[in-house]
Amino acid sequence: MPAAAPPPRIVTLVLVDRAGTLLGALPPFQAETPWWQDFGPVVHAVRDRHGLAVTLLRFLEAERPCAPGGAVTYLGEVDRVDVAAVPLRAWSGRLRDHPLRLPWARPGGPRADLDWARAELAAQGIAIEGLPEQVRSWNLSSLWRLPTSHGHAWLKAVPPFLAHEGAVLRLLQGQGVPRLLAHDGHRVLLAEVPGEDRYDAGGVELPAMVDALVALQARWISRIDALEAAGMTDWRADALAGRFDDALQRHGADLDPADVDALRRLRAQWPALWAEVQACGLPDTLVHGDAFPGNFRRRTDDPAAPPVLLDWGDSGIGHPLLDQAAFLDRIAPADVPAVRAHWSAAWQRACPGCDPERAAALLAPIVALVKACVYRRFLDGIEPDEHPYHRDDVPDWLRRAAAACRARGDRAVRPAA
């Protein structure tokens, strides 16, 4: 059965001025989309309903334990507001500070990002023409679309634990990634990629995406030192072992005893498992971290147009097939066998004699473990008010890892000698 549609998002917007002084709250209204981090529809609705130019800063609270939909409260910044003309209400909540609050979640933070982008563009002879459009913002990114004299540009800001994205994109320029206009710490400025995000891709598009990813990963097998210098996350066996131990210790109480037992058996098999993985003949390389079709963008009016792979904040160093499950899990089930076979053939051409099918089977629980550790890192790096976005993700992915262990069976890994 298809998944049930999420409930509508009912937004309450609390307003502050540039100094952070509380002004009050607007009456609740229904946003066009249910996704909590989708700020564009909220900005447009406030402008249409009240004539206010608002910049959303951050999530405050929600009635549901996790996204999407339901009653959600945000904090927004305005330059000025006519209190007599806008139906502001008293708001009884508290605006507390937190040391992990991200720059763009504070009054003045988005303006500082836009000022940086404006200066970088001006240095390249490019002017912003028109109003910047706030598209999305949450604990993992702030995204703005900028109309310029040379077409649209995209301003993206990310938290410290994803801030290697700019350095990675600099390394990968000309290799099927967005064109980087500038980067500085947590900010990147990108030229717009023509086309559409290919969430619903199928048919011949899928093998083309796989080919693009495999070619990129094969190109970087011999340049691990450059990836390390860019600050990419290490998802290789030794580094992952420590993260696995931490996640299991902190979330073991959230799991059924059978899941804990399965994960402990996996940990006991760790050296043997990775020896088997290495014996499959695929070296460590660049890992995108979320290479599903929706993170590929291409022109659909040109069959020869190559796909461009977006969103490199989750990228790291590790086994290349760590990227396979995210792709196969989000395409039509009927397409999976052919795409999996194409993936294996692509790696067999790139690394003659390798065994991608066995490597993928061995890595099934590891892929889920990586996701659990990714979400644990998110939770450790964001303020508690933002935790509802990710609260259930760590135990959920640990359960998936345990289920993958049981599905594979302990016999899939030969015991260490």
- Could you report the per-residue pLDDT of 265-299, keeping only the tens digit for each? 999 999 999 999 999 999 999 999 999 999 999 98
Q: Is the pTM of this model over 0.85?
A: yes
Question: Pick the residue with more confidence: 159 or 82?
Answer: 159
pLDDT of 412 > 70? The answer is no
Structural domains of the chain ordered from first start? 9-95 (no CATH), 104-191 (3.30.200.20), 197-412 (3.90.1200.10)
Q: Residue 409: what pLDDT?
A: 73
Main-chain dihedrals φ then ψ at residue 9, nearest 5 degrees: -100, 120
Banded model confidence at residue 387, pLDDT cuts 50, 70, 90: very high
Q: Residue 149: what pLDDT?
A: 95
Strand 70-78 and strand 54-62: the pairing is antiparallel
